[in-house]
Amino acid sequence: MAISRSQLVKELEPGLNALFGLEYERYDREHEEIYSIESSDRAFEEEVMLVGFGSAGVKPEGSSIAYDQAQEAFTARYVNETIALAFAITEEAIEDNLYDRLSARYTRALARSMANTKQVKGAATLNNAFSGSYLGGDGSMLCTTNHATTQGGTWANRPTTDADLNESSLETGLIDVAGFIDERGLKVAARGRKLVIPVNTQFIADRVLNSPLRSSTADNDINAMKNMGMIPEGYVVNHYITDTDAWYLLTDVPNGLKMFNRAPIATSMEGDFDTGNVRYKARERYSFGWSDARGIYGTDGA
């Protein structure tokens, strides 16, 4: 249905002082702080986890050498979605508007809506990180204590007991990340690089990471995490995280959280010959997800 003059009554009358409601600033491009972004040229993208070899054994003198096998473990699939929104304005509403170009004003509103959807979808991976309804290629939720390996063991990228963000819980997370293993049980040289938090804990994060001395104690000890440069990229706030005490530690393990861009945002407009209405459309295609869950460590708080 097109926007008609009946929906723009005040904009058609003299004496209007201001139009407001579409000029708000927006939290934009926050997904770029979380995801590795790649381009796509197909309906979906797949990434395969490879399994290497186990630890080498001792070869007794004169005996045959032992052989091991490599294999594929699981496949992570990213399905590119089409995100689109449109609006139409009647010919009469455009003609009779007294104050502004309707198309320019509502095109900005369209861009705002498209940007908001991208941020919501980008944060959804974190918001659903602890949900059994959102599983990755390995059949597990993003953050769990029992990711299965091909050899029958498990590894964890979530604490055994969830905890709110503080010095102790963050130190525990960094230690847990350093203990990551691969699909054959070999140690992975992983470390935390960036803390992702909701707006509610930004002041805690700043004190924990940036105080020269330990925060919330009477001790005169140095801030070990700051002194050792344990989280080199600091922290970022994502305003679309819904759990107010959840926090996530991105690691330096490659092929973790990814976004694929299939088609960049494009806008178009056309007039309808019969009605005179002018239609405006915005459209883009992309997907969010993860391949290797070792790219993140997270907890939904106490």
Consecutive H or E run containing 108: helix 102-127
pLDDT 10s digits, 51-82: 999 999 999 999 999 999 999 999 999 999 99
pLDDT 10s digits, 163-206: 999 999 999 999 999 999 999 999 999 999 999 999 999 999 99
In a domain, 147, yes or no: yes
Q: Give the residue, 158 or 106, on which the prediction is more confident.
A: 158
Is pLDDT of 130 > 80?
A: yes
Please give the DSSP secondary-structure letter assigned to residue 295: G
How long is the chain?
Answer: 302
In a domain, 5, yes or no: no
Range of the domain at 86: 29-45+78-299
pLDDT at 15: 42
What is the rounded average pLDDT for all residues in the chain? 89
Is pLDDT of 13 > 50?
A: no
Report CA 116 to chain centroid distance, whole Å: 13
Cα dihedral 91/92/95/99 (nearest 10): -110
In a domain, 157, yes or no: yes
Give the count of domains, the chain: 1
Which pLDDT band, with edges at 50, 70 and 90, does 161 fall under? very high
Here the CATH number for the domain that contains residue 153 is 3.90.1690
pLDDT 10s digits, 268-283: 888 888 888 888 899 9
pLDDT at 71: 92
Is pLDDT of 97 > 70?
A: no
In a domain, 11, yes or no: no
CB distance 248 to 126 below 8 Å:
yes
In a domain, 18, yes or no: no
Closest by alpha carbon to 259, among 25, 75, 76, 26?
A: 76
In a domain, 219, yes or no: yes
